[in-house]
Structure 1
Amino acid sequence: MLTSNRHDTRLSRMESPSLDSPVFLSAPKVARREDVSVPTIWRWVRQGRFPAPVKLGENCTRWRLSDLERWEAERREVAS
């Protein structure tokens, strides 16, 4: 049985944003990306060891993907 799933379409659009729009990640997604726990991400932010998040609304805090990519590149440079 074939059905159309609007949720799948919405997700695919969210995962492939236009080149000029910034991409933001939630704390759980950042933690998965860095292979650490969410509390570790927040601890690193408090210690100044990780990019600060952006407050997008009263209850919405996210990280810019571009900030994370820059931080990761800097870590790779230091490691080499």
Structure 2
Amino acid sequence: MAYQLPETGFLRLPQIIGDPDRGLPPIIPVKKTCWWQGVRSGRFPASVKLGPRITAWRVEDIRALIAETSEQ
């Protein structure tokens, strides 16, 4: 994996699905719409609101998602 996940903390959406304009490689290579549909359906982890306009995901939840998908 090109991107090193921190041990704990939160990730914003561009850090998860990547942002070529900012030079961020994707951890989970899906488009934004697909990600949000997956969050609504329960396929991807639920988000955490850190502020009125700040949505993030726990690193632990993203690690679990990666482990779950690599088992399949």
Code of the aligned partner of 1:28: P
RMSD over aligned CA atoms reads 2.1
**Any runs of at least 4 consecutive aligned residues in structure 1 with deviations exceeding 2 A, and if so which?**
none
Letter aligned with residue 65 of structure 2: W
Q: Does residue 47 of structure 2 align to residue 47 of structure 1?
A: no
- Paired residues for 1:29-44 under 5 Å: 29-31=15-17, 32-44=26-38
Q: Which amino acid aligns with 2:45?
A: P
2:53 to 35, 55, 59: 59
Identity %: 39
TM superposition shift of 1:16: 8.8
Q: CA deviation at 1:74?
A: 1.5
List alignment gaps of at least 5 residues for structure 2: 18-25
Q: Per-residue deviation at 1:56?
A: 0.6
Q: Which has the higher helix share?
A: 1
TM-score, length-scaled by structure 2 = 0.71
Distance 2:63 2:11 in 1: 12
Return the structure number with greater relative CO, CA threshold 8 A, min gap 6: 2
Gaps of 5+ in 1: 1-14
Once residues 75 and 35 of structure 1 are traced to their aligned partners in structure 2, the CA distance between those partners, rounded to angstroms, is: 12
Report the number of matched residues: 61
Structure number, greater radius of gyration: 1
TM-score by length of 1: 0.65
